[in-house]
Structure 1
Amino acid sequence: RRFQSLCPFELPGEKERKEIWLKNMPKQLQFSEDIDLDAIARKYDLTGSNIVNIIQYCSLQALNQKSNILTRILLMEGIKREYLKEDRIF
């Protein structure tokens, strides 16, 4: 069934984005030490679903590399992919 009406949602703020990153990160995966999550949350206006998509992408890439570390390079690739999906400039 389809929704008949639109429900506007505000983008999460910096604090909420950081919480979404932390709460959705798999326990088996760790952020590399060079990732400043505060800076990521501040710089990139992402929705909750964007963040979940990025984490899923990075998790699969790390697994493919037989690693349990989410590197800065993987994270930036994931963010870039989400921006490109929405025709946003990265």
Structure 2
Amino acid sequence: SMGRKMKPGYRALFYGPPGTGKTLTATLLGQQTGQDVFRIDLSRVVSKYIGETEKNLARLFDKAENKQWILFFDEADALFGKRTDIRDALDRHANQEVAYLLQRIEAYNGLVILATNQRGNIDEAFVRRFQAIVHFPMPGTAEREAIWRQTFPPQIELAADLDWQAVGARPEPRGGSILNISP
């Protein structure tokens, strides 16, 4: 039947520059659904010892299934980047780890979100497995103006001649976060 062919859970890829709301959106999804968001730092899960990464991942996913967490893999391109041609045993082992992680993600019954700054860094074979691919662009002039207008509470007295359009037209912040600049 159709139910047997459909994969469980839901997988989403969030991509865009730093500071555009990928992590915030994952957090808000958790709040809206009443689920905890578990942020996975892949550098702490991946081990140089053969077999340990798979054990770490198995523990993580087994616990997540019981807790019904939303899994949030930040900086996912660190592990889900373009796969390398197998040149030696280390490459083969790295590709096996990725294959195992992908298998666990596809079998997970909950929401899995992978976030990256550069969509092009994620292997296309992985990208095809997502039900949603969401771009988080840098805010444009109009969006920056709206953000600045909402930043100040009404009880704060601002200069009468404050030119909000000029504030919004200022160059995009270098760090990606609108909080890094001030008028």
Q: TM-score, normalised by structure 2?
A: 0.25
Q: Which has the greater radius of gyration? A: 2
Choose between structure 1 and 2: higher helix proportion. Answer: 1
Greater RCO structure (CA 8 Å; 6+ sep): 2
TM-score by length of 1: 0.44
Structure whose residues are more often strand by fraction: 2
